[in-house]
Structure 1
Amino acid sequence: MSNHRIVPSIERPYVISIAGFDPSAGAGLLSDMKTFEAHQLYGFGVCTAMTIQTDTAFLKNDWLEKEHLLAQLKPLLEKFPIPAVKIGLIKDLETLLAVCDCLISFDPQIKIVLDPVLKASAGYNFHDWISGSVIFKNVLKRLYLITPNYLELQTLMGADQENQKDVKAVEQLCLSWSLDCAVLLKGGHHPLTPGTDYLFHKNERLEFHSGSPVVYPKHGSGCVLSSAITAQLALGNSLQKSCRFGKEYIERFLNSNTSLLGYHNL
């Protein structure tokens, strides 16, 4: 496939979010677009699902099929150079794998960031993915970074209620994944060190501590952190620097007001 793309002159890098549509704009595509714009990127959006929700209630979700996702995605990849992509809510692992393969077929160096949205903050369950499945392992090999929180990792491990504080088991899973892709364990729900994020990369662990003693929870904060990191990667920053800047950005977002819907700015 030719790499010679005719595109309009633009100073900002391009970046894509592949995620669901949240009418409240706190999470998903609309939230990612706000984050990309704050980082002075030009953001494209591929819609994976139409949700009916607010910042406090989740009522319904309608998935878009794999063929529809790929039909949205391919014309963008054919025309524009895309250094990084963030994937959020998506129908299933088969669809996720197909999307990753499509991205890599256009650019083997593209940086794919997955935020594994398994459950809405309002309580709606989307997936029952299991980390040991063959498809999930194949997905990991195609990713640059995955950004689960502690509870999402517990779900992926199939942990029962009694084992939900087994921090050692979670960290061992992150280390094993880090041989395929980097893992950012978000600290918002961590039982021992809340607020501290852990980056696992090639069997090493780095810590990113909170710079704010108090934060105000926000709907879609996980989406914002992942898209902020993706934005930094698209700007050419290293993985470590992107995660550190993403941490700083999300804390400003959380403290932008006291409601569940935050404001975006650098």
Structure 2
Amino acid sequence: MSDYRIKNRTDERPYVISIAGFDPSAGAGLLSDLKCFEAHRVYGFGVCSTLTIQTDTEFLKNEWLETDQIIAQLQPLIEKFPIEAVKIGLIKNLESLSAVCEHLNSFDPKIKIILDPILKASAGHNFHDWSLELDNFKTLLKRLYLITPNYLEMQELKGSEEMDLICRNWSEDCAILLKGGHHPLSPGTDYLFHKNERLEFKSGTAAVFPKHGSGCVLSSAITARLALGHSVPESCLLAKQYIEQFLNSNQSLLGYHNL
């Protein structure tokens, strides 16, 4: 870590990075993450991983950026600023994800990496089937600080194993926040698997208005809270409260950020 990187911190806000797709509707991906970071009073940088053509209701197509293009954007930022946490969303494949995480770990092992494993767009487009590379994904967990799959994503990732058991096993390498928005038995209840514990976060509101990119918002809110010094359970709880406020900020698919 260079002396310049240490001494250049003149702002009280911690620095975080979102590595995510560019969504022109600003409901998901980079633009949404940066709005969320600003609401939480952390300074957010954006590294683009894919260019998408979409609205809040329709996903048309995307163009992936390669690993070297992502790292080229990332490198000047991590060299100049003391980055507390990096949130990774949509990315081309596990190979690219692993290379980016390895680069971050090698540069500064203290950087917390939060992965939102986006396998499918809310508008219906399928991006990945990482269940076909489950061993590679399990190996990657050691490089991460927290992952935030929803129930349907975890269904794909777990294979034939029992959900609770695999979350407990994986949490030996990194924390798992299993989001409950799609859970058939306990909708709205999130489960955090962390340090041999399973914590339950129930919904604080009776009903919500769905939003495009709500998963992105939750993971970026957690990233911001971790950068501000909150523990993993505190960050997940506070982010859940934030996302419920975000979901009910209006009745459209595009929410308003306000802490």
TM-score scaled to structure 2, two decimals?
0.96
1:12-31 per-residue CA deviation (whole Å, 9 max, x = no partner) reads 11110000000000000000
Indicate conservation of the 8 Å contact 2:114/2:146, yes or no.
Answer: yes
State how far apart, in whole Å, the 1-side matches of 2:134 and 2:159 are: 12
Question: 1:4, CA displacement in angstroms?
Answer: 4.7
Partners of 1:262 and 1:20 in 2: CA distance: 18
SS in structure 2 opposite 1:241?
Answer: helix
Instruction: State the AA in 1 paired with 2:24.
Output: P
Task: Please report how far the alpha carbon of residue 137 of structure 1 lies from its aligned counterpart in structure 2 after TM superposition.
Answer: 1.7
Q: Does structure 2 retain, via aligned residues, the 8 Å contact 1:53–1:59?
A: yes
Amino acid at match of 2:53: I
Other structure's SS at 1:261 match = coil
Match of 1:226 in 2: 219
Asked if residue 216 in structure 1 is aligned to residue 209 in structure 2, the reply is yes
Q: Which moved more, 1:171-180 or 1:119-128?
A: 171-180
Kindly indicate whether residue 56 of structure 2 is the aligned counterpart of residue 42 of structure 1: no
Corresponding residue for residue 194 of structure 2: 201
Aligned residues: 258
Distance in 1 between residues matched to 2:71 and 2:115, nearest whole Å = 17
1 CA distance for matches of 2:3 and 2:154? 38
Matched, 1:120 2:121: yes
2:133 maps to 1:140 = no
* Counterpart residue type for residue 257 of structure 1: N
CA distance, structure 1, for counterparts of residue 119 and residue 133 of structure 2: 16
Measure, in 2, the Cα distance between the counterparts of 1:176 and 1:68. 34
Which consecutive unaligned segments of at least 5 residues does structure 2 have? none
Partner letter of residue 141 of structure 1?
K
Q: What CA distance in whole angstroms lies between the structure 2 residues aligned with 1:90 and 1:145?
A: 17
* Moved beyond 4 Å, runs of 4+: none
Report what 1:260 is aligned to.
Answer: 253
1:182 matched to 2:175? The reply is: yes
The whole-number CA distance in structure 1 between the counterparts of 2:98 and 2:2 is 23
- Name the residue aligned to 1:153: 154
Post-superposition Cα deviations, 1:156-177, rounded to whole Å, max 9, x if no partner, equal 2346xxxxxxxx8111111111
Give the equivalent residue in structure 2 for 1:165.
none
Backbone CA RMSD of aligned residues: 1.4
**Cα offsets for 1:159-218 (capped at 9, x unmatched):** 6xxxxxxxx811111111101100000010011100000000133100001110010000
Q: Which amino acid aligns with 1:156?
A: L
SS of 2:139's equivalent? helix
> Structure 1 residue 235 and structure 2 residue 228: aligned?
yes
1:56 match: 57
TM-score between both structures, scaled by the size of structure 1:
0.94
Structure 1 unmatched runs, 5+: 160-167
